Amino acid sequence: MQYISTRGSAPSLNFTEALLTGLASDGGLYVPAVWPAFDKAELRALANASYAEIAAAVLARFVGDTISEADLQQDITDAYARFRHQAVVPLVQMDDSDWMLELFHGPTLAFKDVALQLLGRFFDRVLEAENRRVTVVGATSGDTGSAAIEACRDLSRVDTFILFPEGRVSEVQRRQMTTVPGAHIHAIAVRGTFDDCQDLVKAMFADTGFRDQVGLSAVNSINWARIIAQTVYYVSTALRLGAPDRSVAFCVPTGNFGNIYAGYVARQLGLPIEKLVIGTNRNDILTRYFENGEMSLAGVEPSLSPSMDIQVSSNFERLLFEMMGRDGTAVAKVMGDFRANGSYSTDHNQMAAITGLFHAYRSSDEATLEMIRDTYGKTGHVVDPHTAAALSAAAQFRDAMPDLDMPLVSLACAHPAKFPDAVEQAIGVRPDLPPYMADLYEREERMTVLDNDLKIIEAHIAARSRAALAKA
């Protein structure tokens, strides 16, 4: 299995090379050169398999011969041993045709754990075999940072630097990043937005001197390994609901497009995923795009669902690559124009590739609170504001398509205790952290606050990266 850049000029890489590289050298994102696929008989054979068995079958199609079958199975087993539900990602029925997929039973209470616990083990295995160090740098709107830190905290060959927007994540999210002990874990609060943090990370990858100096790598969803690890729960859920002989739809709260793109990958594998519904908050660049075919930047506004307070949806480039016939040169031009002008449009022919598959709906803070209240009142389930945005979008989608005859699964991406203020505002109940995290507010915090300045942040990282110090 080889991987190519969405912008067409970076060298193709195998899986482990793509894993350690993260962002392609031409600024693009890695995707498979050829899509693997399951036939219906192969999918039916997985119908009664465990989550770990399904993960092994799916991931084997993407890692090729870079990780042995035995090692892959061991990494999967170790990754999900830390999850606090036997099913790893339990599926909860809400009514006759609506379901909720709980993705928050990992160590940091967010869906990012599903991928990053596995990614950490991949890093450990590959770096040990190659006797090298890397410096992981990531940007987070809240959950990726804590999940990455938790996954990398014990890796002896990795230094981890996480950038997050100062004052724009929940207190729980911040403390999960800033209270983890370890000399090789670094939380950086950037004076800016998540998009600023994301731009800084991309600029570091574009700075070839810095990239080589620190051995730069990524754990954001720009890393292909993140995407395929998330693809597994779409496959497992579709199988549980009758695939390949029954179609299914998913509704996903998203800002960066990575999580819902993993659903698209599952569809490429042969799963009968007929609808992918996007739930956004007031930062609705994706909803606006699917309404009019124009990707156009607007200012980021704080909301009750801060992990979706994003205007630059990095992973959309992967879908754009498919929409444009896998023409990397054309994608590079579009992304360059987007960077220069803050917008781009796609024509009817390009939109035809996704017409009917993707749908998008926005939710105001008021609608989010109402959905938390409504869900609690009808089902007894307490949901966080991001999950509420998905449930709100699902309800709007059902209203628009009353004849839809398939199960609709909304992704519950975070534990409600990560956003206690919003939940308490909605239902008057403040959700408790689980016992193993009960002392979170008492733990000592460690973080550095830095200006939104590339040179300042690069200097900070270079002075603390063991990979860089070894070369000095």
| Residues annotated catalytic, as ranges | 112
Examine residue 11 and say whether the peptide bond preceding it is cis (omega within 30 degrees of 0). Answer: no
Q: Which of 83, 69, 67, 79 is nearest to 125 (CA)?
A: 67
**Cα–Cα distance measured from residue 370 to residue 367, given in angstroms and rounded to the nearest whole number:** 5
Sign of the CA dihedral running 146, 425, 260, 346: negative
Q: Do the beta carbons of residue 25 and residue 42 sit within 8 Å?
A: no
433 is written with which tokens?
């952290």
HSE-CB for 99 with a 13 A CA cutoff: 21
How is residue 329 written in tokens? 């040169």
CB neighbours of 222 closer than 8 A, spacing ≥ 6? 22, 23, 29, 314, 315
The residue whose two tokens read 């996480």 is 162
- Torsions phi, psi of 72, nearest 5? -60, -45
Answer for the pair 22, 205: CB distance below 8 angstroms, yes or no.
yes
Residue corresponding to tokens 């205007």: 311
Query: What is the tally of helices (H) and strands (E) in the chain?
Result: 20, 15
CA 304 to CA 421: how far, in whole Å?
A: 9
Side chain identity at residue 6, one-letter code:
T
Q: Which of 5, 231, 264, 29 is nearest to 118 (CA)?
A: 231
What distance in Å separates the CA atoms of residue 63 and residue 56, rounded to the nearest whole number?
10
Any alpha helices (H) in 161-282, and if so which ranges? 171-178, 194-206, 208-214, 224-240, 258-268
Q: Which residues lie below 8 Å from residue 124, measured CB to CB, with a gap of 6+?
A: 155, 157, 158
- C-beta separation of 197 from 165 below 8 A: yes
- With left for phi above 0 and alpha for psi between -120 and 50, is residue 445 left, alpha or beta? beta
One-letter amino acid of 276? L
Under DSSP, is residue 5 helix (H, G, I), strand (E, B) or coil?
strand
Q: Which of 10, 12, 15 is nearest to 36 (CA)?
A: 15
Tokens of 415: 């534990």
